[in-house]
Amino acid sequence: MSARLLDGNALSAQIRSELQPGVAAFTARHGRPPGLGIVLVGDDPASQIYVRNKLKAASELGMRADLERLPVSATLDEVLAQVARLNASADHDGILVQDPLPETLGPHAARIVFDTIDPAKDVDGFHPVNVGRLVQKRPTLVPGTPLGVIALLERSNIPIAGARAVVIGRSDIVGKPMAMLLLHRDATVTICHSKTPDLAAIAATADILVAAVGRPGFVTPEFVKPGATVIDVGITSVTDAAVIARLFPEGHARREAFARRGSLVVGDVHPAVAAVAGALTPVPGGVGPLTVAMLLSNVLRAAEMVVGPA
Distance of closest approach, residue 268 Cβ to ligand NAD, in angstroms: 7
3-state secondary structure of 163: coil
> Cα(267)–Cα(6) distance, rounded to whole angstroms?
14
Q: Which of 61, 174, 203, 296 binds ligand NAD (CB under 6 A)?
A: 174
Catalytic residue among 122, 124, 207, 268: 124
Q: Which of 164, 170, 252, 255 binds ligand NAD (CB under 6 A)?
A: 170
Site for ligand NAD in 248-277 (CB under 6 A): none
Q: How far is CA 129 from CA 214, 292, 304, in A?
A: 27, 22, 19
146 belongs to the binding site for ligand NAD (CB under 6 A): no
Rg of the chain over Cα atoms, rounded to whole angstroms, equals: 20
Q: How far is CA 219 from CA 165, 225, 233, 247, 260, in A?
A: 15, 12, 11, 11, 26
3-class SS string, 171-225? CCCCHHHHHHHHHHCCCEEEEECCCCCCHHHHHCCCCEEEECCCCCCCECHHHCC
Distance of closest approach, residue 243 Cβ to ligand NAD, in angstroms: 13
Q: Which of 266, 287, 293, 295 binds ligand NAD (CB under 6 A)?
A: 287
Binding window for ligand NAD (CB under 6 A); candidates: 30-38, 72-80, 86-94, 234-242: 234-242
Catalytic site includes residue 48: no
Q: Which of 142, 235, 274, 300 binds ligand NAD (CB under 6 A)?
A: 235
Catalytic site includes residue 54: yes
Residues 6+ away with beta carbon under 8 Å from 52: none
Q: Which positions are catalytic?
A: 54, 98, 124
Residues that bind ligand NAD (CB under 6 A): 145, 168-171, 173-175, 192-194, 199, 212-215, 233-236, 287-288, 291
